[in-house]
Amino acid sequence: MAVPYGQSVAGHGKRALRNEYPSPITVGQDDTVHPTVLHAYWALSVAEPHAREAVRTAESVFDARTIAAQASRRPDWEHIRTAVMTDLLRAKFGRHPDLAAVLLATGDATLVYDEGSYFWGDRGGRGRNWTGRLLELVRSELRARQAGREPSRP
């Protein structure tokens, strides 16, 4: 069963699962706070520190993506972007228990992420749905913690 977005859960609605949902997260060795997962994702994708800061402080996720698109990308980005997104989702739901409750309330449903990207989104069954799959992974890790078992990571 796929879970549609927009239904109310824990006062946030399932839109809280979206990467642009306001949910400040701490990222990196210097504990930089980003306003959304997407701000952090796009900031981490760029090579230059000044561009990274401009992305982090952008007023909207649209602006963050635009700034990142105009900057030089990290040369290894295509190889690490899925791992980076996984860490960002862990940070989001680890820091915000109310949002974790929204994710846990999806039960064992398949999460279909409706997004324009063929990589991150489902795109009517034609996309890879990586965001949905990673949300399911993070959900299972949250459940494991609730059961007293810390998921192991390499």
Query: For residue 63, what is the domain's CATH number?
Result: 1.10.357.40
Nearest-5° Cα angle at 124, 61 to 126 = 95
Domain-located, residue 2:
no
Segment 129-149, tens digit of pLDDT: 999 999 999 999 999 999 998
pTM: 0.90
Beta-carbon contacts of 115 under 8 Å, excluding residues fewer than 6 positions away, are 121, 122, 123, 127, 131
The verdict on residue 85 lying in a domain is yes
Look at residue 26 and tell me if it is in a domain: yes
Count up the domains in the chain and report the number.
1
Range of the domain at 126: 14-146
152 inside domain: no
Between these two residues, 31 and 48, which has the higher pLDDT value?
48
Do the domain assignments include residue 60?
yes
pLDDT in tens, 78-88: 999 999 999 99
